[in-house]
């Protein structure tokens, strides 16, 4: 694959170089040769880096070009700047979606980012081996990870496994376990959750799913909604990002209210995820 990357990168360099020379329209042979050599020398590293992404060889060529830059310019910083700029412009942000249930929100998120130019769902994580979201991961050909309680709370919280998938953001979409501090610190301000109520009301341990809707209706609330927020060490406590309301009508049951809330989740959650990722990446 390395040789193929070299070959395609070299061919792309030659092709782009000739296109540029065509625009310049230089007729003097010796001047044409000098300028052509200068152009291909400048664009070759970028072409190789771009091609290397498609063949899984980016890390190899990043290190290779750094060594080349150090030999040519006497400093690793000269070439690493070019490599880093190319990486930032082409590497997609990797999201891990954590879910404990059927995964209806996860499916909407996957659909939203399916052909996204800069964001990719790289991993589905669940604490239940029978969770429906794992079937979605299999159907969508997305890597999945089943986590167990001992390692999650008293081990390394699967930080190493998440880093091996180059996860940049974590999205909680119906994930019922409280996250351990080590995970929250490793992805500080890069973990977001959606809660099916208007926080700070009706949040905390045990208030999830139909339990939230029952509490809202029993309290006689006239409205409910969704809250998308950052995750910290306390249940449903992190800084809010977005809220949307829905009317609680007379005669609403927890099941009817759940359907209203779910419609809001599917409509807004993927879009807000995109906005958060883009704002952090700027």
Q: What is the pLDDT of residues 120-145, one digit of tens each?
A: 999 999 999 999 999 999 999 999 99
Q: What is the pLDDT of residues 20-29, one digit of tens each?
A: 777 777 778 8
Q: Specify the residue for token string 């799913």.
A: 209
Q: When comparing pLDDT for 111 and 7, which is higher?
A: 111
The residues annotated with a catalytic role in the active site are 195
Domains and CATH numbers, the chain: 2-90 (no CATH), 93-281 (3.40.50.170)
**pLDDT score at 64:** 61
For the chain, the residue count is: 282
* Sign of the CA dihedral running 228, 231, 236, 237: negative
Q: What is the pLDDT of residues 140-197, one digit of tens each?
A: 999 999 999 999 999 999 999 999 999 999 999 999 999 999 999 999 999 999 999 9
Residues 170, 186: contact at Cβ < 8 Å? no
**Radius of gyration of the chain from Cα atoms?**
25
Residues 198, 243: contact at Cβ < 8 Å? yes
């Amino acid at each position: 694959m390395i040789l193929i990357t070299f070959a395609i990168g070299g061919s792309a360099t030659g092709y782009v170089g000739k296109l540029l020379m065509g625009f310049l329209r230089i007729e003097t042979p010796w001047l044409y040769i000098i300028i052509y050599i200068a152009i291909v020398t400048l664009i070759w590293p970028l072409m190789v880096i771009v091609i290397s992404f498609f063949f899984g060889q980016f890390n190899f060529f990043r290190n290779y070009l750094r060594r080349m830059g150090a030999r040519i310019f006497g400093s690793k910083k000269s070439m690493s700047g070019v490599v880093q700029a190319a990486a930032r412009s082409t590497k997609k942000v990797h999201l891990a979606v954590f879910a404990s249930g059927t995964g209806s929100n996860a499916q909407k998120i996957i659909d939203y980012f399916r052909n996204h130019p800069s964001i990719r769902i790289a991993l589905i994580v669940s604490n239940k081996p029978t969770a429906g979201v794992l079937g979605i991961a299999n159907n969508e050909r997305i890597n999945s990870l089943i986590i167990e309680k001992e390692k999650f709370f008293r081990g390394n919280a699967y930080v190493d496994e998440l880093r091996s998938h180059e996860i940049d953001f974590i999205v909680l979409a119906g994930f019922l376990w409280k996250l351990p501090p080590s995970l929250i610190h490793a992805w500080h301000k890069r973990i977001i959750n959606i809660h099916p109520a208007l926080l700070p009301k009706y949040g905390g341990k045990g208030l999830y799913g139909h339990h939230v809707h029952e509490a809202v209706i029993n309290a006689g609330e006239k409205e409910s909604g969704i809250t998308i927020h950052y995750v910290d060490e306390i249940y449903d406590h992190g800084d809010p990002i977005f809220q949307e309301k829905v009317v609680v009508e007379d005669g609403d049951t927890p099941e009817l209210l759940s359907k209203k809330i779910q419609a809001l989740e599917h409509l807004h959650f993927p879009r807000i995820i995109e906005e958060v990722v883009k704002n952090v990446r700027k």
